Amino acid sequence: MRGKVYLVGAGPGDPELLTLRAYRVLQEAQVVLYDRLVSPDVLELVNPKAHRIYVGKTRGTQTQAQEKILSLLLAYARSNQQVVRLKGGDPMVYGRGAEEWAFLAQHQIEVEVVPGVSSALAAPALAGIPLTLRGVAHSFAVVSGQIAGGLYPSLERVAQAETLVILMGVERRVELAHALIRLGRKPEEPVAFVERSTTPHERIIVSTLAEVAAGGAAVEAPAVWVLGEVVAHRLPTGAKGHRAIQTLAF
Site track for ligand SAH across 189-228, x = CB under 6 A = -----x-xxx----------------------xxxx----
Name which of residues 40 to 59 contact ligand SAH (CB under 6 A): none
Name which of residues 227 to 246 contact ligand SAH (CB under 6 A): none
Using the rule CB under 6 A, is 126 a contact of ligand SAH?
no
* Residue (of 91, 87, 90) closest to 36 by Cα position: 87
| Strand 223-227, strand 190-195: pairing | antiparallel
- From 26, 81, 90, 109, residue interacting with ligand SAH (rule: CB under 6 A): 90
Cβ burial of 34 (10 Å; 0-12, 13-18, 19+) is buried
Phi, psi angles (nearest 5°) of residue 28 = -100, 0
d(C-alpha 166, C-alpha 193), whole Å: 9
The type of residue at 17 is L
Q: Which of 41, 57, 87, 90 is catalytic?
A: 57
- From 3, 15, 89, 130, residue interacting with ligand SAH (rule: CB under 6 A): 89
d(C-alpha 107, C-alpha 101), whole Å: 10
Using the rule CB under 6 A, is 86 a contact of ligand SAH?
no
| Nearer Cβ to ligand SAH (37/158) | 37
Phi-psi region of 218 (alpha: psi -120 to 50; beta: other; left: phi over 0): beta
Using the rule CB under 6 A, is 119 a contact of ligand SAH?
yes
The type of residue at 87 is K
DSSP line for 19-33: -HHHHHHHHH-SEEE
Using the rule CB under 6 A, is 37 a contact of ligand SAH?
yes
* Residue (of 14, 21, 9, 23) closest to 91 by Cα position: 9
**What is the closest distance, in whole angstroms, from the C-beta atom of residue 51 to ligand SAH in the complex?**
23
- From 3, 12, 15, 228, residue interacting with ligand SAH (rule: CB under 6 A): 12
**What is the closest distance, in whole angstroms, from the C-beta atom of residue 135 to ligand SAH in the complex?**
28
Name which of residues 153 to 182 contact ligand SAH (CB under 6 A): 167-168
Q: Is 14 a catalytic residue?
A: no
First to last CA, the chain: 60
Q: Is 35 a catalytic residue?
A: yes
Using the rule CB under 6 A, is 94 a contact of ligand SAH?
yes
Applying CB under 6 A, the residues found at the interface with ligand SAH are: 12-13, 37, 87-90, 93-95, 118-120, 123, 167-168, 194, 196-198, 221-224
Catalytic residue set: 35, 57
